[in-house]
Amino acid sequence: MPLPFVKMHAHGDDFIIIDRRGQHDPITAQIVRQLGNRHTGIGFNQLAVVLDCEDAAARIRFWNADGTPLQTCGSATRGVADRLMHEAGADSVVLRTARGLLTCVRAPGRQVSVNMGEPSLDWAAVPLAEALDTRTLPIEGDPAACGMGNPHCTFFVEDIAAVDVAALGPALEVHPLFPAKTNVHFVQVLDRGHIRLRIWERGGGVPLGSGSCCCAAVVNGIRRGLLDATVRVQCDGGTVTVQWAGEGGVVLTGSVEPVMQGSAYGF
């Protein structure tokens, strides 16, 4: 059975969209792993399945390339929003994810903004394995934690070029404090409105960017008193903007670009 898809990227964070509105959802963990293989499949960081929804334009299910489900993906959410706004000739759209209803809007310069919802700041909601102040964890390097629908752990470093993300990330991802594993960020604060970010992504390795990781890194920086409410986040693949007032939703803004479309076979 051919499986139509569209591939897009947001500051190098690549994902595919499979639109199953009006059809059944055939996607399983095995299919995701096959499609996600960069040698024998399509290759991506995340996969987004677009489904019918009664109270929004669509519902989205997200998968990591290793076949594990995830609740949120800021890049793919904006990619789906871009396509559905184009389809409807609209400048805004509401999408349902496991994070709830997310409002997306057009922004200047062919960008798309999404309100990613409120960050989870309590230890049990991240989640952590024990009751701790999430602003300062008892891990070497003094990281902070929060949740954006998935768990995040942020280290603030003097020189990000000196950090071996691929070497440090795997052990930190499975640290005992994170029962659901965690995304890991390394942040160099360039000034109060600009950071450099590198990422080890839970279930995904080292990506060029990640929407939810950008949001969480800024949230943790603001909670530490290091950042202002609007921050440019420079990832390996490009730059996005994150806004958070210290309460309420986190707004992520950046470009999304189509890469290709086609059909996968054998599923």
Residue-wise pLDDT tens digits, 36-55: 999 999 999 999 999 999 99
Helix (H, G, I), strand (E, B) or coil at 248: coil
Mean pLDDT of 136-157: 96
133 lies in some domain? no
Locate 211 and state its tokens: 């929407």
- The answer to whether residues 186 and 201 belong to one domain is yes
Give the integer Cα–Cα distance in Å for 81 and 97.
12
CB 59, CB 95: distance < 8 Å: yes
pLDDT tens profile 223-248? 999 999 999 999 999 999 999 999 99
Considering the domain architecture, whether residues 72 and 18 belong to the same structural domain is answered as yes
Q: What is the average per-residue pLDDT within 172-178?
A: 97
How many domains does the chain contain in total?
2
**Do residue 54 and residue 150 come from a single domain?**
no
Inter-residue contact 176 to 151 (CB < 8 Å): no
- Residues 6+ away with beta carbon under 8 Å from 248: 118
Shared-domain flag, residues 155 and 110: no
Query: In this structure, are 16 and 65 located in the same domain?
Result: yes
- Asked if residue 192 and residue 100 are part of one domain, the reply reads no
**Helix H or strand E segment including 83:** helix 74-88
Tokens representing 158? 């003097």
- Check whether residue 156 and residue 239 sit in a common domain: yes
The 10s digit of each residue's pLDDT in 98-107 is: 989 999 999 9
Q: Are strands 194-200 and 92-97 parallel, antiparallel or unpaired?
A: unpaired
Sign for the pseudo-dihedral over CA of 224, 226, 227, 229: positive
Which domain covers residue 89, as residue numbers?
3-116+255-264
Residues 62 and 149 both lie in one domain: no
* CATH value at residue 8: 3.10.310.10
Cβ atoms of 27 and 61 closer than 8 Å: yes
Residue 212: which H helix or E strand, with range? helix 211-223
Residue 110 in any domain: the answer is yes
Helix or strand run (H / E) with residue 195: strand 194-200
55 and 101 fall within a common domain: yes
Largest CA distance in the chain: 53
User: Would you say residue 218 lies in a domain?
Assistant: yes
pTM for the model stands at 0.93
In a domain, 81, yes or no: yes
